[in-house]
Amino acid sequence: MKVLMVCLGNICRSPLAEGILKKHLEKRGLDWTVDSAGIGAWHAGDLPHHSSRQVAKAHGVDISEQRGRQVRRSDFTEFDHILAMDSENLADLQRLAPEPGQQAKIQLILSHLEGESLRDVSDPYGRTLEHFEAVFQLLDRACQAFLEKQGGASVSVHP
Ligand code: 4NP
């Protein structure tokens, strides 16, 4: 399974989503490909935002090896699931997708969280550490819900 997390800048939300999903996959012994990208190119090559790194580290998730990059055309063929952080990212991805058949793989990450009234993971850029922590908590629940939906709740039995 290949999953791409997408937000606007690829420095605050999607790097956290990538790191959190990888942590849960590792716990379950699952070997998936997880990456993240931004709609914009402003932060290509940059480290994740220091507040994202700080909250991730506090929860045992290391995202310091990640670097920002922009969404590219090949992402739409390479990845099985493209998870948008908010409705604006979703609309941009739907517009960028080269083939109509690729629309089905583009979803809001919170659409996987049953009973959640929020549609969007709001952008913490320029806000306090508490906002980044709230984003972490929401993404942690959403990543686990997504994983369980994919049948990834059990540990892999492959040798
Ligand atoms: P993100 O937050 O989409 O969660 O990475 C943002 C980071 C930077 C910018 C916008 C959003 N920016 O405009 O530089």
Q: Is 12 in the pocket of ligand 1 (CB under 6 A)?
A: yes
92 CB-near residues (< 8 Å, 6+ apart): 39
- Note if 7 is an active site residue: yes
Contacts 24+ apart (CB under 8 A), 69-76: 69/10, 69/37, 69/38, 69/44, 69/45, 70/10, 70/37, 70/38, 70/39, 70/40, 70/41, 70/44, 71/4, 71/6, 71/37, 71/38, 71/39, 71/96, 72/37, 73/98, 75/4, 75/37, 76/102, 76/105
pLDDT digits (tens, 9 = 90+) for 14-64: 999 999 999 999 999 999 999 999 999 999 999 999 999 999 999 999 999
Checking if the pLDDT of 9 tops 90, the result is: yes
Q: What is the pLDDT of residue 158?
A: 46
Q: What is the pLDDT of residue 101?
A: 85
Inter-residue contact 143 to 27 (CB < 8 Å): no
Q: What is the pLDDT of residue 151?
A: 86
Q: What is the pLDDT of residue 154?
A: 47
Q: Is 42 in the pocket of ligand 1 (CB under 6 A)?
A: yes
Q: How confident is residue 152, by pLDDT bands cut at 50, 70 and 90?
A: low
- Note if 13 is an active site residue: yes
Q: Is 57 in the pocket of ligand 1 (CB under 6 A)?
A: no
38 Cα to the center of ligand 1, angstroms: 8
Quick one: which atom of ligand 1 is closest to the CA of 68? 5
pLDDT digits (tens, 9 = 90+) for 100-148: 889 999 999 999 999 999 999 999 999 999 999 999 999 999 999 999 9
140 Cα to the center of ligand 1, angstroms: 20
Q: Is 125 in the pocket of ligand 1 (CB under 6 A)?
A: yes
Total length of the chain: 159
